[in-house]
A and B are shown apart, each in its own frame.
Chain A
Amino acid sequence: MLVQNLAILVLAGFVGFAVISKVPNTLHTPLMSGTNAIHGIVVLGGFIVLGLGAEGVLNKILLVVAIAFGTINVVGGFLVTDRMLGMFKDKDRSGK
């Protein structure tokens, strides 16, 4: 299991490097924001731990906080990226 996961990790790492290697400077901030939204998917971890175990009130409350945090990350992240990119488009139009 450890080696299998390590293989996935290394391959995904190379893909991550490869796909963004040609990003122009103007897209640095939206790309940062977009990748930021993607890692909000950590919210899945919260579902799994809260949904399949978690005894004790404190644990449950902390997991609810974790899920809320993850949701803020993923929802807010994609929305704010979209707003940023919308701004780019308007700028291009008025520039032409």
Chain B
Amino acid sequence: MSENWTALLYLVAAVCFIFALKGLSSPSTARVGNLVGAAGALVAVLVVFAAERPDRLVWILVAIAVGGAIGTLAARRVAMTAMPQMVALFNGVGGAAGALVALLELAEGTSGDLAHLAVTAFTVLIGSITFSGSVLTFGKLQELVTGRPILFPGMRWVALATVAGTLAAGVWVAVDGEVLGAVLLAVLTLALGLLLVLPVGGADVPIVISLLNAFSGITVAASGYVLSNTLLIVAGTLVGASGTLLTKMMADAMGRSLVNILFGAFAGGSTLG
């Protein structure tokens, strides 16, 4: 397939995603909107197969079959009341997928200049935060972990040290393209995701899920840059932007501020238990 056709069909998929968001924001069109989004995703998958002609089809098809089966079962079986935590899990694995793709693209050694390596590091960082943070929000809503804000003595310092370590590892990856640095970065940012969500109270968790959803949008956009894939950039940015706005609207609807939700427990103020 020629480059023009690929670009054109990617555009079709991107427009589908925009219509999906538009449809989902009005009650009468929401269900159709969701279907349009799914159609866009299908188009995108077919185009990438036709355009890139990937090898190892067996591996890929097995992975799709396993993922598709798990996704379908989970979506069908989940209790109506447990849907928010299901969304959190889906979101978490999406973030993890983005981080893994960036990490392995780096391991393949095909990456190039400073900007490219910096974005790769950023993708690993934000994808890992999304994954561990989402898994913890799942635990909180599923009541595997207490819904009350969790703080431990010296948590602030642990958090600061983790952030400092993350920055150092990030710079290491950006300058050297070192895979070991990226693995270290992934471990540190997995911890960071936990530290971000631990102090959040149960009632605020849905807003944090929405925030993490925006984060994985940003992960996907960044991985699109790493792989020079326009559709990933567009789809990821759409989700990142709309997800950020949605998070703010959800917080406003509950009369809460995002800063208070995330850091309120540190300040000794209340975060709704």
Measured CB to CB, the residues of A under 8 A from B are 1-2, 5, 8-9, 12-17, 19-56, 59-60, 62-89
Task: Give min CB distance, B64 to chain A, whole Å.
Answer: 5
A29 to B246, CA, bound (A): 9
The A/B interface has a contact count, at CB < 8 Å, of 346
* CB within 8 Å for A69 and B93 given contacts A33-B83, A47-B52, A48-B48: yes
Whether A63 and B87, one on each chain, are in contact in the complex, defined by CB atoms closer than 8 angstroms, is no
A43 to B94, CA, bound (A): 8
Mark interface residues in B42-55 (1 if CB within 8 Å of A CB, else 0): 00110011001111
* CB within 8 Å for A39 and B239 given contacts A27-B27, A31-B24, A45-B98: yes
CB within 8 Å of A: which B59-94 residues: 59-60, 62-64, 66-68, 70-72, 74-76, 78, 80, 83-84, 86-87, 90-91, 93-94
B contacts with A: majority SS: helix
Whether B59 and A64, one on each chain, are in contact in the complex, defined by CB atoms closer than 8 angstroms, is yes
A contacts with B: majority SS: helix
Measured CB to CB, the residues of B under 8 A from A are 13-14, 17-18, 20-22, 24-27, 30-31, 33-35, 37-38, 40-41, 44-45, 48-49, 52-57, 59-60, 62-64, 66-68, 70-72, 74-76, 78, 80, 83-84, 86-87, 90-91, 93-94, 96-98, 100-101, 103-105, 107-108, 110, 115, 206, 209-210, 213, 216-217, 219-221, 223-243, 245-246, 249-250, 253
Contacts of B216 in A (CB 8 A): 36, 39, 42
Whether B54 and A52, one on each chain, are in contact in the complex, defined by CB atoms closer than 8 angstroms, is yes
Whether B220 and A42, one on each chain, are in contact in the complex, defined by CB atoms closer than 8 angstroms, is yes
- Among A29, A60, A66, the residue within 8 A (CB) of B97 is A66
Task: Give min CB distance, B34 to chain A, whole Å.
Answer: 5
